[in-house]
Amino acid sequence: MTDGVAPRRTAVKVLERIENDGAFANLVLNATLEKSKLDSRDRAFVTEMVYGTTRMRRACDHTLNRFLHDEIEPLARTILRLGVWQIIFGGVPAHAAVSATVEVAPRRFRGLCNAVLRRIAENPVTDWPSEAIELSYPDWLMDRLKLDVGEQDALGMAKTMNEPALAVTRSDGYHQDLSSQMVAELAVDGLKAGDSILDLCAAPGGKATLMASGGVWTVAADVRESRIGLVVENVQRLNIDLSLVVSDGCFPPFKPKSFNRVLVDAPCSGLGVLRRRADARWRVSEEEIERLSSLQEKLLLSALNLVASGGQLIYSVCTVTSTETTEVDERFRAKTGIQSCGLLPEPWRVHGQGGILLPQDLNSEGMAVFRYQVE
């Protein structure tokens, strides 16, 4: 067998599940790797191939379609996409990519795969029809990013989110991106040991565990019981003391004005973390963004009642759409008359009355934050 066939065979199996069955990339990849006999180097290569091919699917298809005249079987397309990713985006030498990838194909289309991949290695695309195709995003998403953060920043964002995610580890061993750590630090900034904070949408507990580790009494709530299970695992592993509640943040089971601070780290479209979720760009929809925007406003309105006088309410999302950031903030302030706490410290960029970090700013995830002063 040619060298490197086993990891490519595994990658094709995982890609078929993602592309044909709509499986979540991280779930099916982890489950497959757990059962496999591959060593750690091959596992890392499978991960890179699966996430890379998934992210760059549209650019791979454009590259391929120049040499395909008829529709081909889904399995042939999956294998060809994997080959194109290696040759064009993955930095794998063409001869190795072609021979090991062709060997994964059933005999009936080995000839086709071999011919097409060789031609692609000799003729890479030089005139991409659009930035959305070249950077491999749906048109609506690229248009929306340009509208919401401006053309240059949208392109910077789109490029950064095509890179593999960085592994950032806190001093206690928890993996958490820098911008999420910065939100947790902002949320407890100025609190003393014994003061309280409620994290209304807390699972899997990244921010809650960081906030609690500083001595602030932290209550972590989430609507999904199974996700509260993830917080339990993290709390036990890190040996951190915090309280856990399963509750719908729109109807929280707490007395009014019970907390010095409330953090609403709301469910969102996740467009700032596409780097970490390779398949998310193909799943998010404009309708979903609208639905989330009204849920975010509802969560903020119910959270406001729980903040004690003199306290603060903090709203954060790992996305950058105006619909889920400035528009939610504007509606919330108009309905409640609440004041924003003012500008956020650097490196946060000014974003309406809050702050935003784009993925390219600190090579982190994209995040937006708004803080309100409760009288």
Ligand X SMILES: C[S@@+](CC[C@H](N)C(=O)[O-])C[C@H]1O[C@@H](n2cnc3c(N)ncnc32)[C@H](O)[C@@H]1O
Under the rule (CB under 6 A), what is the footprint of ligand X? 180, 199-207, 222-224, 227, 248-250, 265, 267
Q: How far is the CB of 84 from ligand X (least distance, A)?
A: 33
Residue 207 contacts residue 231 (beta carbons within 8 Å): no
Residue 292 contacts residue 267 (beta carbons within 8 Å): yes
Contacts of 41 (CB under 8 A, 6+ apart): none
Rounded to whole angstroms, how far apart are CA atoms 159 and 174?
27
Contacts of 295 (CB under 8 A, 6+ apart): 250, 266, 267
Q: Which is nearer to ligand X, 180 or 312 (CB)?
A: 180
Q: How far is the CB of 65 from ligand X (least distance, A)?
A: 36
Q: How far is the CB of 372 from ligand X (least distance, A)?
A: 18
Rounded to whole angstroms, how far apart are CA atoms 319 and 367?
6
Q: Which is nearer to ligand X, 205 or 359 (CB)?
A: 205
Contacts of 60 (CB under 8 A, 6+ apart): 53, 80, 81, 84, 85, 88, 89, 136
Q: Please give the C-alpha separations between residue 227 and each of 170, 208, 233, 245, 284, in angstroms, as whole numbers.
A: 21, 13, 10, 11, 21
Give the CA-trace dihedral at 197, 201, 205, 211, to 10 degrees: -20
Q: How far is the CB of 298 from ligand X (least distance, A)?
A: 8
Q: Which is nearer to ligand X, 68 or 223 (CB)?
A: 223
Q: Which is nearer to ligand X, 7 or 249 (CB)?
A: 249
Q: Which is nearer to ligand X, 1 or 167 (CB)?
A: 167
Q: Which is nearer to ligand X, 180 or 293 (CB)?
A: 180
Q: Which is nearer to ligand X, 324 or 329 (CB)?
A: 324
Rounded to whole angstroms, how far apart are CA atoms 281 and 55?
8
Q: What are the backbone dihedrals phi and psi of residue 78, each rounded to the nearest 5 degrees, phi first?
A: -60, -45
Q: How far is the CB of 257 from ligand X (least distance, A)?
A: 20
Q: What are the backbone dihedrals phi and psi of residue 308, each rounded to the nearest 5 degrees, phi first?
A: -70, 160
Q: Of 240, 254, 268, 250, which Cα lies nearest the Cα of 198? A: 254
Q: How far is the CB of 201 from ligand X (least distance, A)?
A: 3
Contacts of 273 (CB under 8 A, 6+ apart): 177, 280, 318, 365, 366
Residue 369 contacts residue 343 (beta carbons within 8 Å): no
Q: How far is the CB of 63 from ligand X (least distance, A)?
A: 34
Residue 154 contacts residue 145 (beta carbons within 8 Å): yes
Q: Which is nearer to ligand X, 253 or 337 (CB)?
A: 253
Q: How far is the CB of 3 from ligand X (least distance, A)?
A: 40
Q: How far is the CB of 183 from ligand X (least distance, A)?
A: 8
Tokens of 14: 């995982």
Q: How far is the CB of 25 from ligand X (least distance, A)?
A: 18
Residue 374 contacts residue 340 (beta carbons within 8 Å): no
Q: Which is nearer to ligand X, 145 or 211 (CB)?
A: 211
Q: Which is nearer to ligand X, 40 or 239 (CB)?
A: 239
